[in-house]
Structure 1
Amino acid sequence: MAATDTFVPTEYEWLLLRFNADQAARASEIEQQARARASARAPLKVLDLGAGAGANLLYLAPRLPATDQAWVLVDRDAALVERVRTCFDRMSAKVAAAVADDLVSFGDQRVTYQARTGDFLAATDPIWEQPWDLVVANAVFDMLSREQVDAFFALAAERWAGRRPTLYFTINLDHQLRFIPAHPDDDQVRAMFHGHMRRQQYYGRALGPDSAEAVTDLARVHGFTVTSGSSPWRIPADAGAMLHANLDFIERAADEMITDGADGIDRDPFARWLSARRESIERAELSLEVGHRDLLIEWP
């Protein structure tokens, strides 16, 4: 059962697919509250955690009320950080942006940005000594352990108590993974995939589909208030590329679990399930819902 070779048939296709899915999924009521909390300070200082190639800025910056914004994008992956400018260039037409050096303009909005390699979980990272108005993260916390998220909120409560920035964390996984129509083996595949997401990493056990619940609980433990809203991906039957991309993730997870000898997943039944699902996509007969929650985290 070899993984397919079509996960990213062209450069940035997954970025574009994900951008569109996230844009459609975001909880509008939580986004409106985040916009209302955005400071009138000029410039608005925004920190993007686990920023990847910068898609969160392209989505959120033009929707914030401030016409003058200064963003810092931090990610541990230096290769992604190096691709931020290229990402902005590739996506500029889609989001009606003009890109020049370290400036992205959306009409009369001017957004300066700095993209750098860093570890926002490290107490020595410069982000903890800088004043922020808004701290954002998109689809980040499912890759962290409960201990890491706990340590993050402990640092935030201590280091950012003076400025008290609003924290706006979007597309946090919950437990929903629903194929429509259902298949008798869906439950087994779902359990396998979620188990793979929760597998032990070098830093601990990843939160995976428990991330929305865990981030909410740990923020409250450290004295923050949390407002949440549902933000599921609803991938329709005519979105074949996105559906195949999600099956690619599941296939790779199954390959790793089978190779590691994990219980509860057998090669042949999974291969039959996968083949049936891919055939359904080609006939435009399969849709998918992936559950997330958006979180607005504030100071008491």
Structure 2
Amino acid sequence: MVAVIEQLKDHLNHAVLGQPDLTHELLVALIANGHVLLEGPPGIAKTTAAKALAGAIDSRFQRIQFTPDLLPGDVTGSDIYQQETGQFSFIPGPIMNDIVLADEINRAPAKVQSALLEAMGERQVTVGNHSYPLADLFFVIATQNPIEQEGTYPLPEAQLDRFMMKINLGYPSASSELDVLRLVRQQDLHKTLSGPNTSICTPADILQLQHQALSLYMSESVEEYIVQLIMATRYPERYLADTGKETRLIEFGASPRGTLALDRCARANALLSGRDFVTPDDVRRVALPVLRHRVLTTFEAQAAGLSVDDLLKRLISHVPAL
């Protein structure tokens, strides 16, 4: 399986230039068996990354463009009356695929967003009186644009907590942007000559990687470190008292679901790093994308210009690894 991991890394890094954190954290979320929310300005390869990942796996991929007029049945599917038989039959929606790209998820109203809750949390959809299981490899990649607020519906905390990771994206460097320019020009030039995409692995390979990550060794001290990081988001005054600054900066800390997500993502990071054991560095590497959407800051923190990432970095630096 080491070869599969390396091929996935190379494929994503070649398809998405200048975003190494994005490609790495996408693979972490995939192997950790969770869903991911990508947030960043338009045109920085969020959709490209999702399509590249789906293309590397011999899987069923579907993109859903979220709009204000979308209905829950447009996502989950619905019962349609068949005049020939006089009965209703279930027509699957786009959510019934292996990898689903929920593009601009914050443009859909709350009813449509909540339609994803059961699917993401329980891996099934319920239409009428029947529940339908989703694919074994069910991976949601949602995107949202933080710039435009008009005509959008912010995701509630309960929905955000369903995402294992939230990845914040910025613009690439000048050298990376030059590489992107040349790569896209070359692709457009040879578009008619290019052959079909060749998949690197199958859903069964990904499921095996997920199982392998869960079987990695994690010492009790690393488990305690994960729990202490979560406790620090709930009771920051216990860890920041020595700074002499106002410590009431966090309104709500991470939930137990955040503890489980930090454990799974640390294991996936260790597997991607080629190790069969988890270290505190693995936990620190994934802490920001796992926790940033699970922590609510106070008005005092916002007034002081402190972002969630600033507070989490401060807490991480004050929580010792046991």
Global fold match (TM > 0.5): no
Structure of larger gyration radius: 2
TM-score of the pair, normalised by structure 1: 0.31
Point out the structure with the larger helix share.
2
TM-score of the pair, normalised by structure 2: 0.30
